[in-house]
Amino acid sequence: MGRSALRISMLGGGLAATVLLAGCGGGLLSSGDAKSSSDQGPVKLGMLTPLSGSSAAIGPYMKNGAQLAVDEINAKGGVDGRKLTLQVEDEACDAKAATAAANKLVTAGIDVSVGGYCSGATLPTLPIFAKAGVPMIIPAANSNELVEQKKPNVFMINGTGTQQGDAAMQWMKEQKATEVGLMDDNTSYSVDIANVTAGLLKQSGPPDMSGHESVTAGESDYSANVNAILKGNPDFIYWTGYYQEGGLIIRQLRQSGYDGDIMVADGSVDNKLISIAGAQNAQGVYATMTQTPDTIPGAQKWIADYKKKFNAAPGPYSTQSYDAVRLAAEAVRKAGSTDGNKVISALEGIDGFELFSGPLTFTPEHTLSKGGFQILVVKGDSFKLEDPLQ
């Protein structure tokens, strides 16, 4: 029944996507000559990001970040005189919606994909872009599963689950945790980080793993799960899912009398987590997170530009999306063409390209050589930098 629930909700997403498709028929009609030339005309970028569904809050952050980079590059004359265009489609954090949206982008003839937030929704889009020869620069999704298929067109500029697990482990050791409870939400992204961390915890020496609990996303009452995880008497709990359930779980952990440390993964870094949990419950909650605009030294000007343009503050993955577009433009410039294979070679050849997270060089697996994860902590009503883990 649980699975059929998922299926029906996917159907919902699919319907929404269909409506979108129908609404934008004009784009489909003009797609016939879309890929006619690889060395002239505009450079078309496509982005899949959640604009509806459970992670809809992230979509505008990513979309605006990417749009800012597109506008800046175009203002400077584009890539070798070719303008960038950006087409954003809704992945709804849902496999079915993402597949439909990816097909739409391919039909529209995009040259490079710069999207991907939910790992579970990004996974099924890999073969679609691979078949069309579209290089993917994934700004946010970071499950190891994305690169395990070894598709040549897939590049990740967010740290991987392995790197996040490493960072979590390092912080648990520094906090002298002895018994760690892991909680995930059964999605690709979340299970990946939890399993990596579990593997590290099982190695000899403290901290040890007191329990591993999976919850069902989208519910309100997690008291049963909270009970189960507290049975192992943990003094440190790591939640690897998204912020909506994260907020509820933190609150319910505290209500059950748990007063040990709590840490959340990057999918939970959103100020809504704090308001859902209640400010006093969320105080001192740690997070493993890649750089956000607030925690990057010297990003004030960038934040000001962003605010001026969109009349809203940047959020998680704004900078990564901005960087994905810049990286795509750089690769097309070096390749001298939007031909998929040439762009892929250019991306593999990138050496020390400056991103917000530091100089970029891809590993042979097309991931960041350095995760760049840092530890944030909840102070007041927002996440503040606690330790850069350098």
What are the backbone angles phi and psi of residue 377, rounded to the nearest 5°? -140, 150
Closest CA relative to residue 44, chosen from 88, 109, 117, 132: 109
Cβ atoms within 10 Å, residue 326: 22
Quote the least distance from Cβ 347 to another protein, whole Å. Answer: 33
d(CA 78, CA 109): 19
Give the residue carrying structure tokens 């944030």.
Answer: 376
Quote the least distance from Cβ 280 to another protein, whole Å. Answer: 9
Contact status: 5 vs another protein (CB under 8 A): yes
Residues pairing with 183 in the sheet: 213, 239
CA 309 to chain centre: 23
Give the residue carrying structure tokens 């943990």.
Answer: 234
Residues pairing with 179 in the sheet: 208
**Pick from 18, 40, 149, 275: which binds another protein (CB under 8 A)?**
275
Strand spans (E) along the chain: 43-49, 84-90, 112-113, 136-138, 154-156, 179-184, 208-214, 236-239, 261-264, 286-289, 351-355, 358-361, 374-379, 382-387
The nearer residue to another protein, 40 or 256, going by C-beta atoms, is 256
Determine how β-strand 84-90 pairs with β-strand 112-113.
unpaired
Contact status: 279 vs another protein (CB under 8 A): no
Quote the least distance from Cβ 23 to another protein, whole Å. Answer: 14
**Pick from 7, 131, 176, 272: which binds another protein (CB under 8 A)?**
272
Contact status: 153 vs another protein (CB under 8 A): no
Listed ranges 161-169, 170-178, 241-249, 323-331: which one lies at the site for another protein (CB under 8 A) = 241-249
String of contacts with another protein for each residue 210-229, x by CB under 8 A = --xxxxx-xxxx-xxx-xx-
Closest CA relative to residue 387, chosen from 372, 370, 375, 379: 375
d(CA 378, CA 261): 12
d(CA 207, CA 203): 9
d(CA 347, CA 266): 25
Listed ranges 9-17, 23-31, 37-45, 70-78: which one lies at the site for another protein (CB under 8 A) = 9-17
Contact status: 382 vs another protein (CB under 8 A): no
CB 92 within 8 A of CB 98: yes
Classify the C-alpha dihedral 273-246-375-308 as positive or negative. Answer: negative
The nearer residue to another protein, 218 or 388, going by C-beta atoms, is 218
String of contacts with another protein for each residue 173-202, x by CB under 8 A = -------------x----------------
The nearer residue to another protein, 216 or 300, going by C-beta atoms, is 216
Quote the least distance from Cβ 270 to another protein, whole Å. Answer: 10
Closest CA relative to residue 45, chosen from 15, 86, 73: 86
Listed ranges 125-133, 155-163, 253-261, 305-313: which one lies at the site for another protein (CB under 8 A) = 253-261
Contact status: 28 vs another protein (CB under 8 A): no
Listed ranges 12-20, 174-182, 260-268, 375-383: which one lies at the site for another protein (CB under 8 A) = 12-20
Maximum CA extent, the chain: 64
Contact status: 23 vs another protein (CB under 8 A): no
**Pick from 21, 56, 198, 296: which binds another protein (CB under 8 A)?**
56
d(CA 372, CA 251): 29
The nearer residue to another protein, 33 or 221, going by C-beta atoms, is 221
**Pick from 10, 21, 34, 57: which binds another protein (CB under 8 A)?**
57
Contact status: 324 vs another protein (CB under 8 A): no
The nearer residue to another protein, 95 or 276, going by C-beta atoms, is 276
CB 87 within 8 A of CB 66: no
Residues at the contact surface with another protein, assessed by CB under 8 A: 1-2, 5, 8-9, 12, 15-16, 51-54, 56-57, 186, 212-216, 218-221, 223-225, 227-228, 231, 244, 247-248, 251, 255-257, 272, 275-276, 278
